[in-house]
Amino acid sequence: MAWKKNILETIGNTPMIQLNKVVKDFPCTVLAKVDYFNPGNSIKDRMALKMVEDAEADGRLKPGGTIVEGTSGNTGMGLALAACVKGYKCIFVTTDKQSKEKADILKAVGAEVIVCPTNVMPEDPRSYYSVAKRLATEIPNSVYMNQYDNLSNRQAHYESTGPEIWEQSEGKITHLVCTAGTGGTIVGTAKYLKEKNPNIQIWAIDVYGSLLTKYFRTGEVDMNEVHPYISEGFGEDFVPKNYDMSVIDHFEQVTDKDGAVQARRLAREEGLFCGYSAGSCFQGLLQLKDRLKKDDLVVCIFHDHGSRYVGKVYNDQWMMERGFLDVKTFKDIVSGRSRQRLITVHPIDTVAAAVALMQQYDIENIPVMENDRNIGSLSEQGLFNKIFSDPDLKNQSVEFVMEHPYPEVSYDTPVERLSSLITRENGAVLSKDEAGSYHIVTKYDVINSLAK
């Protein structure tokens, strides 16, 4: 029969896809193990099912029981799928830095979601680790899955992810690149691959603010390394028991910004709509590409789907608020052109004088200013139409023919926003710089900026 008996039978056997545009200057082939093809849209489906099955086998999880877990979202989704099919309840504890989409998806599949503060120590009773442990002791017939210390996590990847990568690469893989979080994915996969070929290099990608990199290098758990970070799904402020650092060859740290930017790049240039950790994984590889040779075959693990991050990584406003988007602004336009004073007219100046200024400076838009206030505007097209109808108008004062004042914006307004403010009727916008001086940006300035 060609059909599956339930959704759990679709977990695994995800595709390996060659990267092209984003690695055009690499010396070797780079493949992505794209695990958002799992039914829960992440690699965590693999270990979630394994943890449930092992808990059933050893009697910890009984019929009608409740699954309790601390999760950034993806593990919860995998556990929820298993619970739906097998008839369990779910309570998931997560942090307030996780995307809203993750919590909403968990609720959609019937789970209860409890949100805890991010910036507390793991042993703090408010942390999501502590709350999950406490709930499992208070709720009858419940089990705390504990993906961090539950070795079924890494065993799932030893049994599935590792063999799939070995077979799909025909045993030619030379490097595995993977973000490091609970340790299950990278350690389980690495153990299998190292057994097949001990020369395969395992590169772990970590985030600044996590203590894993220093622990790998020194064996020291240094809490001074720990500080808040925005990246989701990897990095830790303690060392989970799933880690076996002996199978990892190198740790590389990346920034929150670079991971987010590269995730967007993968979507735009490769059509791979991946999550935050995929962007971070690829950024880590970029930082290490000088170590690669012509005959190498690199496999990057892309853990989850971009739909989890549409309110964050794929939201321009969220990215700009954190300084993650290198967007052009009003200030950039002004800084990029030759320095010149703003040409203005006074409301009592004559129309003829205004026209003369337009001709002298080859401009089409002039603000009308009074006591350093933007009170009106003149456009070449508007003046032409009015003077054509009444030639004597050129001797009148500007105040009788001026149009609405140009909109004023902040000096750091993005160019994309400026383009929506400049219309057929409104040919420019104004802004004050840090010193309080006015500057003007016209539609031609915007066009030139976007064309660069």
For the annotated catalytic residues, the residue numbers are 44
Residue 44: phi and psi, rounded to 5, are -65, -15
Residue 314: phi and psi, rounded to 5, are -100, 20
Burial class (CB in 10 A: 0-12, 13-18, 19+), 18: exposed
HSE, CB side, 13 Å, CA atoms: give it for residue 369: 16
Dihedral, CA atoms, 125, 128, 130, 135, nearest 10 degrees?
110
- Structure tokens of 193? 């691959």
Distance, in Å, from the CA atom of 19 to the CA atom of 32, rounded to the nearest integer, reads 7
- Structure tokens of 240? 């989970």
Distance, in Å, from the CA atom of 299 to the CA atom of 14, rounded to the nearest integer, reads 13
Burial class (CB in 10 A: 0-12, 13-18, 19+), 400: exposed
Q: In terms of Cα–Cα distance, which of 278, 272, 273 is closest to 259?
A: 278
- Structure tokens of 436? 């309080």
